A and B are shown apart, each in its own frame.
Chain A
Amino acid sequence: MREHLDQQLTRLNHDLIKMGAMVETIIDKAVTSLKNQDLELAKEIYTEDDAIDEMELKIEKDCLNLIALQQPMAKDLRRIASALKIITDLERIGDHAVNIAKITLEIGNESLMKPLIDIPKMAEIAQNMIKLSLDAFVNQDIEIAKRAAEMDEEVDKLYDTVINEVFQYIQKDSKFLNQGIKLLFVGRYLERVADHTTNICERIIYMVTGERVEIN
């Protein structure tokens, strides 16, 4: 019976990593499509998000089955509970990727008001955070998780820079208003992505140590 639980936990682990990988790819695609104004790539994101949503439901079902049928305890239970929470965050990140893709499609081939610098930088850090948080999950390493969570501050700082910059543009000329607001939203979504990743990192720390920590 216990061996069965171990196997199922390993599978749960694998599914979670798979979902993480999907999220990592989708964010990458969202930002690349915005940067290069690649509308085809932006459209792909919709189907990929559906796959992520399906994955969330599947993992949720598996977790509930595990709890109901195996009565896991201590670390195993913590792991399942953490998985349940982590997938919600991952799914939200996927949704934000779709939101960014939506804006990419709205901007379309209209030339960008300025070459994007800070937004790709934010995206890069956010992507790195997701990557590190998954590394932390895979290796059960709370040090990596802490490091990833600390990167949230950088994203927040960049978000402030983006806001200021867009405001300056809008004040200078109201024709930037439309695109400016859209870019503000992109910044906001990326900032949220970083926040969700911080949550995931907190979960991982809880999963490994059993202690609740509040980062930022």
Chain B
Amino acid sequence: MIFFIMPIILFCVILNFYLFYIILNKYNLYTYVSDTLQFRFDFIQYAIAGIFFTFIFTCIMVIFKLNFIINPIKKLTNTATKIALGQYEKRIEFYEADEIGQLSHSFNLMASRLEETIKDLNDKKNKLYSILNSMDDGVIFVDTEKNIVLINPAAKEIFNVKGETKNRYILEVIRDSRIDELINNPDETPVEIIMHGEKERILQVKSISVSDYGTGNIIGVLLVIHDVTKIKALENMRSEFVANVSHELKTPLTSIKGFAETLKYVEDKETRDKFLDIIYVESERLSRLINDILTLSELENKDYAINFQKVCLNECITEVYYIMERISLEKNIRLSIDSCEEQLYIYGDRDKFKQMIINLVDNAIKYTPQNGEVYLKLEKYNNNARIEVRDTGIGISKKHLPRLFERFYRVDKARSRSMGGTGLGLAIVKHIVLMFKGDIYVDSEVNKGTTFTIILPLFENK
């Protein structure tokens, strides 16, 4: 810059001195002062000429050198705008070592520092958001005015929140006065909130007052929401199971105990035989129940895969058919089998597989009235084995289907017991299917019949 302006100024000064010198010499102003009109006129003429030449020269210089000044400033402005719009990687190219060059250099320095800082902040923010977004628990942070600062997707899902949430009043978004109460009294003890609505859900909400890391002032309240519906259901199921087991064990035991006790005083042979029969039937039931419970706990044990081998399904199904045929004939039910020609193999436990099919066929026979039919079908289905057990029995109404595979779940308690069921048959089936990594479906219509479909992955030679 200075190398550009200095010559112009220097030239102007020299030019003016020179003009002045000419005038002084012409009128001999060193010796006397003339007041003639001619002098004034000449003086003005020279002065105007001087100014005119200086002006022209400056204009020429400026026009030639204009780009030299304007261009770097234009570049600077453009880059600054781009950086302001978020393109932090933009820099100015500079060559000159003058003031503009220095400015560009400092500007670039500032830009790279800015880029680093922003990148760092973004990284931190992204990490925080990724963590919050991938959490199962809901997290909501509200400021001291109870406006939402942050809410993660899990929390949005729990409270069914849609639309814009940022900086809105918490109750505008989640209209639940209990949440408001929790924000008013943040004391870090989890509070259970039951959400009524389409599906009842139990939430455990913890409210924590948050203070600023630096100043220590309270800046808001953090709510951590944990959906404990499933855990509660499991807890219930466990305690229900224990209660059921004790109840189921106790019923036959009570009969055995009672009849055995009475037997001591009974003389009559006929009554005695009747009592003994009852005791035998009940103890039979008890042992069946204990066997089933043992099977279940064995299935829950993770080491079951020890007995795994290649199992031919066609063989097993046929064996089951022969076992069950006798029972079906007793009840006058037609049992038919439809096995596919191709030999299908799975990798699993042969006995367990047979038990699973026997359980299903046994159930089908039990709940099918006389002269009914039970079909057993095996086929290949999309690289899986598909086994279907269909009956023309009494069927199961829709409301029971979701809980059908639960232990001790019975559609009709009295009937199931009178038929000698333990309430564990289908639970065992489900466990075995899961053990073989398969799926089981049930489809039923009351008074029409029930179809159980099992899909098992086929054995692959690896």
- B242 → chain A, closest Cβ, in Å? 25
Given A14-B146, A32-B196: A25 touches B177 (CB 8 Å cut-off): yes
Instruction: Find chain B residues with CB under 8 A from A21 CB.
Output: 171, 175-177, 180
Given A28-B196, A32-B196: A18 touches B178 (CB 8 Å cut-off): no
Q: Write the chain A residue with the least CB distance to B198.
A: A124
Interface residues in A, total, Cβ within 8 A: 15
Q: Which residues of B, 163-180, contact A by the 8 Å Cβ criterion? A: 169, 171-172, 175-178, 180
Interface residues in B, total, Cβ within 8 A: 10
Q: Select which of A18, A28, A29, A32 is within 8 A of B171 by beta carbon.
A: A18
- A131 → chain B, closest Cβ, in Å? 7
- A87 → chain B, closest Cβ, in Å? 15
- B25 → chain A, closest Cβ, in Å? 76
- B18 → chain A, closest Cβ, in Å? 69
Instruction: Find chain B residues with CB under 8 A from A24 CB.
Output: 175-177
Q: Write the chain B residue with the least CB distance to A55.
A: B177
Let me know if A180 is at the binding interface, CB within 8 A: no
Main secondary structure of the interface of A (DSSP, over half): helix
The answer to whether B146 touches A134, judged by C-beta atoms less than 8 angstroms apart, is: no
Q: Write the chain B residue with the least CB distance to A25.
A: B177
The answer to whether A17 touches B196, judged by C-beta atoms less than 8 angstroms apart, is: no
Chain A CB count within 10 A is highest, among B169, B172, B177, for: B177
Instruction: Find chain B residues with CB under 8 A from A28 CB.
Output: 196
Q: Write the chain B residue with the least CB distance to A17.
A: B171
Instruction: Find chain A residues with CB under 8 A from B169 CB.
Output: 13-14, 17
Q: Which residues of B, 126-183, contact A by the 8 Å Cβ criterion? A: 146, 169, 171-172, 175-178, 180
Let me know if A138 is at the binding interface, CB within 8 A: yes
| Interchain CA distance A28-B194 in the complex, whole Å | 11
The answer to whether A17 touches B172, judged by C-beta atoms less than 8 angstroms apart, is: yes
Instruction: Find chain B residues with CB under 8 A from A32 CB.
Output: 196
Instruction: Find chain A residues with CB under 8 A from B171 CB.
Output: 14, 17-18, 21
| Interchain CA distance A28-B171 in the complex, whole Å | 17
- B208 → chain A, closest Cβ, in Å? 21
The answer to whether B196 touches A22, judged by C-beta atoms less than 8 angstroms apart, is: no
Instruction: Find chain A residues with CB under 8 A from B177 CB.
Output: 18, 21-22, 24-25
Instruction: Find chain A residues with CB under 8 A from B146 CB.
Output: 14
| Interchain CA distance A140-B295 in the complex, whole Å | 63
Q: Write the chain B residue with the least CB distance to A18.
A: B171
Let me know if A20 is at the binding interface, CB within 8 A: yes
| Interchain CA distance A17-B180 in the complex, whole Å | 11
| Interchain CA distance A29-B193 in the complex, whole Å | 12
Instruction: Find chain A residues with CB under 8 A from B172 CB.
Output: 14, 17, 138
| Interchain CA distance A18-B171 in the complex, whole Å | 6
Q: Please encode chain A, from 3 to 36, with 1 for each CB lying within 8 Å of some chain B CB and 0 for all others.
A: 0000000000110011011101100110010000
Q: Select which of B175, B178, B180, B196 is within 8 A of A131 by beta carbon.
A: B175
Instruction: Find chain B residues with CB under 8 A from A131 CB.
Output: 175
- B60 → chain A, closest Cβ, in Å? 59
- A101 → chain B, closest Cβ, in Å? 15
Q: Please encode chain B, from 90 to 102, with 1 for each CB lying within 8 Å of some chain A CB and 0 for all others.
A: 0000000000000
Instruction: Find chain A residues with CB under 8 A from B196 CB.
Output: 28-29, 32
| Interchain CA distance A186-B259 in the complex, whole Å | 54
| Interchain CA distance A25-B178 in the complex, whole Å | 9
Q: What 4 pairs across the A-B complex have the smallest Cβ distances?
A: A22-B177, A21-B175, A21-B177, A17-B171
Please name 18 further chain A to chain B contacts, defined as beta carbons within 8 Å, in addition to the given A21-B176, A24-B175, A24-B177, sorted by A numbering: A13-B169, A17-B175, A18-B171, A18-B177, A18-B180, A20-B175, A21-B171, A21-B175, A21-B180, A24-B176, A25-B176, A25-B177, A25-B178, A28-B196, A29-B196, A32-B196, A134-B175, A138-B172
* Interface pairs (13), CB distance under 8 Å: A13-B169, A14-B171, A17-B172, A17-B175, A18-B177, A18-B180, A21-B177, A21-B180, A22-B177, A24-B176, A25-B176, A25-B178, A32-B196
